[in-house]
Structure 1
Amino acid sequence: MKNPTHVFLFGSLNGESGGSPAPRIQWDLDHPVRLPDLLERLQISPDRVQLIMVNHRAVPADHLIVPGDRVALFPREYAIFADWKNLRC
């Protein structure tokens, strides 16, 4: 039984993933994948993303996504809190 990975797209990123708007995308990953590779699969340019959260925690842009993770992508126009400033992409 696979553990699905959920990707949540916020703001202008919603609908930018090469298809119709879908605030949540579910994938069954067979193995860990680097975040830049995930963005490429989603057809989202890394320069459009300001903040990445995995399992409710801010992570750097080179984070490794494992099956079952919950990934949230926030675009540049989103305001972010000061304690996340060192994890901005």
Structure 2
Amino acid sequence: MLISIKLGGPLRKRISGHDRGELSLELEQGSKVSDALIKLGLDGDVVRVLMLNGRPIAEDKALKTGDRLALFPRELAFNVCTAISFFNPLVREAHSKKT
């Protein structure tokens, strides 16, 4: 299966040839986020925030074809978590006004 990976901040430099921070990754069917991290050569000490299709998740989450996985390092964790907590209520409010 093929998934899309978005690397945040300094993680872009850790994966050679992907300075723009975007890549596609081929994984076995039934793979988890942790399998993607292993294949990329990254671990929990480096990656602190994991988002799957725009939502925070844990490493044991199963992946499926077409998923978008965003990875952020520890130095950006606070910024990402703050942005998520700030925007989630705004997104819910905007969505409720549309329906």
Q: TM bucket by the smaller chain?
A: 0.7 to 0.9
Work out the CA distance in 2 between the residues paired with 1:21 and 1:15: 7
How many residue pairs match? The answer is 80
Shift, 1:32, TM fit: 2.6
Q: TM-score, normalised by structure 1?
A: 0.76
Q: How does 1:45-60 map to 2 (within 5 A)?
A: 45-60=43-58
The corresponding residue for 1:20 is: 17
Q: Which has the higher contact order (CA 8 A, sep 6+)?
A: 1
Larger Rg computed on CA atoms:
2
Measured in 2, the distance between the counterparts of 1:44 and 1:20 equals: 15
- TM-score under structure 2 length normalisation: 0.69
Q: Please, what is the CA RMSD of the aligned residues? A: 1.8
Quickly say closer, same or farther: Cα 1:12–1:60, change in 2 above 3 A: same
Cα deviation, 1:28-58, whole Å, max 9, x if unaligned, reads: 4451311111101001122111110001111
- Structure 1 gap segments, 5+ residues each: 84-89
2: CA distance, partners of 1:61 / 1:27: 16
SS, match of residue 45 in structure 2: helix
More helix by share: 2
Question: 1:38 pairs with 32, 36, 39, which one?
Answer: 36
Bigger mean CA deviation after superposition, 19-28 or 70-79: 19-28
Q: Which runs of 5+ in 2 are unaligned?
A: 86-99
Choose between structure 1 and 2: higher strand proportion.
1
